[in-house]
Structure 1
Amino acid sequence: MTQTAPESSAVGAAGSDEHPKRFASLDPRTGEVVAHHPVHSAQEVTEAVATARRAATWWAELGFDGRKQRLDAWRRLIVKRLDEIANLVSAETGKPNADAKLELALVIDHLHWAARNAERVLRRRRVASGLLMLNQAATVEYRPLGVVGVIGPWNYPIFTPMGSIAYALAAGNTVVFKPSELTPGVGVWLADTLAEVVPEHPVLSVVTGFGETGAALCRSGVDKLAFTGSTATGKRVMASCAESLTPVLLECGGKDVLIVDYDADVAAAADAALWGAMSNAGQTCIGVERVYVVEDVAEEFVEQITKRAAKLRPGGQPSADFGPITMPSQVEVIRSHVQDALDKGGRAVVGGTESVRPPFVEPVVLVDVPEDSLAITEETFGPTVTVNRVRDVDEAVRLANAGKYGLGGTVFSKSRGEQVARRLRTGMVAVNSVIAFAAVPALPFGGVGDSGFGRIHGEDGLREFTRVQSVTRKRFKPVLNPMSFSRGGGVVGRLMAIVKARYGR
């Protein structure tokens, strides 16, 4: 293997005075500038992809063992510098440092799993040839695509994109990553640290900027584009990629439901609902936004969640339960959803429109909210939750499945949790816990409907960034060879006799 001279992993160094256009990333808690980053042009994005394509051949040729060694070294470096990246995540998102470290713990576990399991999942393996092709040896193998583009979100700026980045790299691809304009420093940090352990080629490159930079990545000729963000933006990404038939993986958020059955542990359900709804200031694609409680335990549940929610406090200090609304424009969305729910007859048992105090939003718990309210039908993405009573779990499932989203869900029930879970039209469900599926590296993650399609994490996540190659190899001359113009007149007849004898019973 020939070692080449190092190349920069970030297209235009962060804070470079030489780049003609720059923008600032801000701490949403204070408005202070965290750092400046380049606004990369379409030409620079194209050049980044071309550089990544040259690196892709080398990265793929390292093989599973070689890539695992490098990814394991990266994991150890991330652990060593965990406080540094946690502080950066906290600064760019405003989330408490403890929550940033929790996010990083998930990143480290997933990176370890992807590197460890890539060979087992993707290597060439033999498959049965079947009766008619007994003379053929058949194999299937999952080969790298080449260059994968990743467009990441700001709410979990390291965990969510690493669900694509780590698995794409482990599968043998190089990656060009466009982080959110709200959290560009996290993306640059990832590329810079990987470059420390993989100095030969930029197997992870970062381009920073706004929507135009992301659109350029869609049109840059990458072999697949993985996007996380809103459904509306996801549709635009898909349309752009369709111009070049670039396949896409879309994770577009949700309106996740928590169902509380009559025999649930109500205290545990209330605690889980509150964490699912309010952690990270409710800015979680798989966060709990709707709760349906069976009438038998509804009063107790509302009492429990009200008591717990009233104690939570947002803020910028380390002792705060959650931080600010990272994206300023989301504040008005949250306010409008709360107001609409109240205007249509819902009641606020905790907070209300007065809870919206930019950049922070205090907890809001709404009950008896009509099903046509924005707080029920659209993604709110704030520390709010609706709680509605239902006659039974059948009604809860019907209402849960009535929406256009289908990402995750939660069921609390002592006797039939898994049974109810299987009836939900979602990609993932947690039973008697909340969001647990995201923390299990072996489980695929993704949704249906307006929540998108494709899967990250687990075996499906590794295969998502590969192309399947099937190969047959003739082992010996067949007794019957119907696929030849020199076949005898009775070959097909004898073949049909075999088919009828074997499969006609």
Structure 2
Amino acid sequence: MSTATEHRTFDSLNPATGTVVGSHPIHDAAAVRAAVRDAGEAARWWARLGHAERRRRLLDFKAVLTRELHRVANLIHEETGKPVGDATLETVLAIVHLDWAARNARKVLGPRRVSPGLISVNMAATLEYLPLGVVGVIGPWNYPLFTPMGSIGYALAAGNAVVFKPSELTPGVGVLLAELFAESVPEHRVLQVVTGLGETGAALAADPGVGKIAFTGSTATAKRVMAACAANLTPIVAECGGKDALIVDAGADVAAAADAALWGAMSNAGQTCVGVERVYVVDAVYEAFMRELTTRAEGLRGGEHYGPITMPSQTEIIRRHVDDALARGGTAVVGGAGSVRPPYVDPVVLTGVPEDSSAVREETFGPTITVTRVATAEEALQKANAAAYGLGGTVFSGDPRRAMELARAMLTGMTAINSVISFAGVPALPFGGVGDSGFGRIHGADGLREFTRAKAITRQRFPLPGMKITSFSRTPAELQRLVKMVTILHGRRKS
């Protein structure tokens, strides 16, 4: 890890107890600059290793992470407050994604021949994807391993070095990750961590030595990061917030839908970017769904079934959304204003909430859910798509064809059918949003390509007789031959 040039430190705290988990340096702009400079040298070495050797090193890193799974999960538990079981699941998913990235990088990114077409029949055409150099990753606190590893693992597999700035709430997870990586790649600091507050992340985004920034966080912060990147035309992939909707169609398995809605809304204390925050239920199954949902929700309690609100200031946002929903005519069928008892929030299920209320329009990021009765699935879809966010979504339906139509029509980057958040567990699928949820993709082949630059190469194999087109010695007859060929190939209108 890079050394801070000033001897300032900050503490990470267990949000459930307030006890100090660890103390870490605040890396200033000079320290970030030094880390990026070192990463540039490491990136050149890492790229020269080639796909096969990088694959071997990353699979070894995966084995190290697996060996230390319980240690990593316990640290996630301490810094976020989430149950150890949930932290274990997060670590397992990170391992699975790292494995996929390592094993598939060459197939996705390696050189391949492409057809040159008849006009360029004398050419050999090759496409490959080359690393960018240094990738800066600015990670969140809600999933401090799984989410940033969606960028880190794929960027490393693509041949880049990484400078990772973890959230100031969960710096220890980032530091441990870099230490474990160094066991598999001791020669150069291919993965470095810089710790600190917002100024540290801003310095990383503004550093001209960074080839791309991968950011996860709020939409408002993403705009500030983009502004810092703009000075150097540094590209950015941004995974921002969500206000994900779940649609329950007639004929759906109501019990399964309620169980999924509850997990999507309440797990990790609702602090999930692709968590369920809105549910739209077709009238025919509304009453049955509400019975299933409320029965399940009444048995949950913060601090027992899920952890605390990791960021203390978030409790006031949750309280404001619940109060606004109730003040505007909504009904709390489970919980209510008294459910907010920092650092915990008990489940809140709201019905009859106006669509223009903050509880429906803004990201709550807490264990709350709004349920709205609709006449048809088409009305549900219209309401689901009315939000500015477009990250994930869910459809429950007994009709596979109808479910697929609804899933395709949702204005989101990902949609799960008859399951919840399942797309995050499939490494081959890209992950990212539209609208206020950001742009770019991590995970899958798209995630590997996100951290590369496409390189196109043509090689003339032989000259075409009588077709010297790109030369000042070109004759009118040669140009006419080209026009005749194009006319034959493309001049007929197709029905």
How does the TM-score come out when normalised to structure 1? Answer: 0.96
Alpha-carbon displacement from aligned partner over 1:296-325 (angstroms, at most 9, x marks no partner): 11011111100000001111xxxx210000
The aligned runs of 1:24-63 (5 Å cut-off) are: 24-63=11-50
Matching residue within 154, 179, 189 for 1:167: 154
Distance 1:112 1:481 in 2: 49
Offset of residue 78 of structure 1: 0.7
Letter of the 1:357 counterpart: R
The aligned runs of 1:173-192 (5 Å cut-off) are: 173-192=160-179
Distance 2:262 2:146 in 1: 21
Letter of the 1:475 counterpart: R
Letter of the 1:363 counterpart: P
What residue is the counterpart of 1:4 in the other structure?
A: none
What residue is the counterpart of 1:433 in the other structure?
A: 419
Alpha-carbon displacement from aligned partner over 1:312-359 (angstroms, at most 9, x marks no partner): 1111xxxx2100000000000000000000000000000001000000
Offset of residue 452 of structure 1: 0.1
Letter of the 1:332 counterpart: E
What residue is the counterpart of 2:65 in the other structure?
A: 78
Offset of residue 466 of structure 1: 0.1
Matching residue within 474, 477, 481 for 1:494: 481
Matching residue within 309, 314, 339 for 1:355: 339
Letter of the 1:396 counterpart: A
Distance 1:466 1:191 in 2: 22
Distance 2:474 2:203 in 1: 54
What residue is the counterpart of 2:234 in the other structure?
A: 246
The 3-state SS of whatever aligns with 2:412 is: coil
Matching residue within 236, 245, 248 for 2:224: 236
What residue is the counterpart of 1:305 in the other structure?
A: 293
Offset of residue 502 of structure 1: 1.4
Distance 2:487 2:26 in 1: 66
Offset of residue 12 of structure 1: 2.9
Kindly indicate whether the alpha-carbon contact (under 8 Å) linking 2:139 and 2:217 is maintained by their aligned counterparts in 1.
yes
The 3-state SS of whatever aligns with 1:58 is: helix
Bigger drift between 478-487 and 343-352 goes to 478-487
> Does residue 446 in structure 1 map to residue 437 in structure 2?
no
> Does residue 223 in structure 1 map to residue 230 in structure 2?
no
What residue is the counterpart of 2:144 in the other structure?
A: 157
Kindly indicate whether the alpha-carbon contact (under 8 Å) linking 2:328 and 2:353 is maintained by their aligned counterparts in 1.
yes
The 3-state SS of whatever aligns with 1:372 is: coil
Offset of residue 488 of structure 1: 2.0
Distance 1:487 1:230 in 2: 57
What residue is the counterpart of 1:112 in the other structure?
A: 99
Distance 1:341 1:243 in 2: 41
Alpha-carbon displacement from aligned partner over 1:27-78 (angstroms, at most 9, x marks no partner): 0010000010000000100110000000001000110111011111111011
Distance 2:290 2:468 in 1: 72
Distance 1:275 1:412 in 2: 14
Kindly indicate whether the alpha-carbon contact (under 8 Å) linking 2:6 and 2:28 is maintained by their aligned counterparts in 1.
no
What residue is the counterpart of 1:268 in the other structure?
A: 256
Offset of residue 408 of structure 1: 0.2
What residue is the counterpart of 1:462 in the other structure?
A: 448
> Does residue 326 in structure 1 map to residue 326 in structure 2?
no
Alpha-carbon displacement from aligned partner over 1:144-191 (angstroms, at most 9, x marks no partner): 000000000000000000000000000000000000000000000011
Alpha-carbon displacement from aligned partner over 1:233-256 (angstroms, at most 9, x marks no partner): 001001110111000000001000
Distance 1:356 1:489 in 2: 80
Distance 2:145 2:93 in 1: 10
What residue is the counterpart of 2:182 in the other structure?
A: 195
Offset of residue 489 of structure 1: 2.5
What residue is the counterpart of 2:365 in the other structure?
A: 381
Unaligned 5+ residue runs, structure 1? 1-9
Distance 2:192 2:129 in 1: 24
Alpha-carbon displacement from aligned partner over 1:82-136 (angstroms, at most 9, x marks no partner): 1111110000000000000000110010000000000000000000001110000
Letter of the 1:356 counterpart: V
Distance 1:48 1:503 in 2: 54
What residue is the counterpart of 1:420 in the other structure?
A: 406
Distance 1:341 1:368 in 2: 9
The 3-state SS of whatever aligns with 1:494 is: helix
Matching residue within 263, 274, 284 for 1:296: 284
Distance 2:271 2:331 in 1: 22
Matching residue within 306, 309, 319 for 1:335: 319
> Does residue 212 in structure 1 map to residue 199 in structure 2?
yes
Matching residue within 457, 463, 467 for 1:471: 457
Root-mean-square deviation (CA, aligned residues, Å) is 0.8
Distance 1:499 1:81 in 2: 62
Letter of the 1:92 counterpart: E
Matching residue within 247, 255, 269 for 1:281: 269
How does the TM-score come out when normalised to structure 2? Answer: 0.98
> Does residue 12 in structure 1 map to residue 3 in structure 2?
yes
Between the two proteins, the alignment pairs up a number of residues equal to 488
Distance 1:286 1:78 in 2: 25
Offset of residue 19 of structure 1: 5.4
Offset of residue 419 of structure 1: 1.0
Distance 1:30 1:67 in 2: 41
Unaligned 5+ residue runs, structure 2? none
Letter of the 1:262 counterpart: A
